[in-house]
């Protein structure tokens, strides 16, 4: 199987089921959105991908990931190294890794680029430049959800790095003494996890043990800040 982008695969799958764009879109999005995905002008949110999976009765997440990520050895090693540096809290290592991999062609799009922007957001926060950090977060999450706003968090499902980026936005707002926004983000993430990921009939974009640990982390943060659930 060789397709230039995910939309070509989606169009072929739709046509193999003798579905029009209107029929495929019914109840989940607009026919124009399907058209834009098929033309390669738009990437589906993970929420939309889940709805398409249900409609086709097959898990489209792995197919989508082939196009969303740059699956190379360098890409895999880079993501692992960045995640390890984040886990260790090693700011110098993280900064060096971001500078190293952002120059590589495999980190110019999709999930790989998201990790670069997530790393930059963390580095900016270390320097207490929280607004810069928020800007990197916004750029990172809009790679997978172009229409993202703080008011639309509950309308989509996100990748692991997407969830992490949104969660880090709440950390930045807390540092900026905007507890109201930070707590809203945490509550919205809790809703996304409980509604779209943990009970999903399909395994969402690498969300298994990560989702469970992330869920526990969100609950712990809300409890720490005295937010009643």
For 102-115, b/e burial (b = at least 16 CB within 10 A) is: beeebbeebbbbbb
pLDDT tens for 44-64 read 877 788 889 889 888 787 777
Please say whether the beta carbons of 110 and 140 come within 8 A: no
Angle at alpha carbon of residue 67, lines to 218 and 192, rounded to 5°: 20
Specify the 3-state DSSP secondary structure of 2. Answer: coil
Report which secondary-structure segment, H or E, holds 55: helix 46-56
- Does pLDDT of 73 surpass 80? no
In words, the CATH class of domain 85-224 is: mainly alpha
- pTM summary value: 0.76
Question: 17: exposed, middle or buried (C-beta count within 10 Å: 0-12, 13-18, 19+)?
Answer: exposed
pLDDT in tens, 76-97: 899 999 999 999 999 999 999 9
Average pLDDT over residues 102-123: 94
Q: List CB contacts of 183: < 8 A, sequence separation 6 or more.
A: 170, 222, 225, 227
| CATH 1.10.579.10 for the 6-68 domain, yes or no | no
Tell how far CA 186 is from the center of its chain.
15
Domain boundaries, the chain: 6-68, 85-224
pLDDT band, very low/low/confident/very high, at 146 (cuts 50, 70, 90): confident
Euclidean distance between CA atoms 84 and 201, whole angstroms: 30
């Amino acid at each position: 199987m060789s397709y230039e982008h995910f939309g070509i695969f989606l169009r072929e799958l739709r046509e193999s089921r003798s579905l029009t764009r209107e029929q495929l879109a019914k109840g989940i999005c607009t026919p124009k959105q399907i058209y834009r995905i098929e033309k390669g002008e738009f990437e589906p949110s993970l929420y939309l991908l889940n709805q398409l999976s249900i409609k086709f009765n097959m898990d489209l997440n792995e197919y989508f990931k082939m196009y969303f990520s740059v699956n190379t050895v360098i890409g895999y090693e880079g993501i692992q190294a960045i995640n390890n540096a984040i886990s260790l809290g090693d700011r110098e290592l993280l900064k060096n890794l971001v500078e190293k991999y952002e120059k590589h062609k495999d980190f110019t799009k999709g999930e790989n680029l998201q990790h670069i922007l997530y790393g930059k957001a963390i580095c900016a926060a270390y320097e207490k430049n929280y607004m810069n950090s928020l800007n990197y977060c916004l750029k990172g999450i809009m790679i997978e959800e172009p229409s993202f706003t703080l008011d639309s968090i509950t309308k989509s499902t996100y990748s692991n790095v997407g969830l992490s980026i949104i969660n880090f936005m709440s950390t930045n707002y807390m540092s900026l003494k905007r507890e109201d926004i930070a707590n809203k983000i945490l509550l919205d993430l809790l809703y996304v996890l409980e509604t779209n990921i943990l009970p999903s009939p399909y395994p969402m974009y690498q969300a298994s043990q990560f989702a469970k640990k992330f869920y526990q982390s969100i609950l712990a943060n809300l409890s720490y800040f005295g937010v009643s659930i």
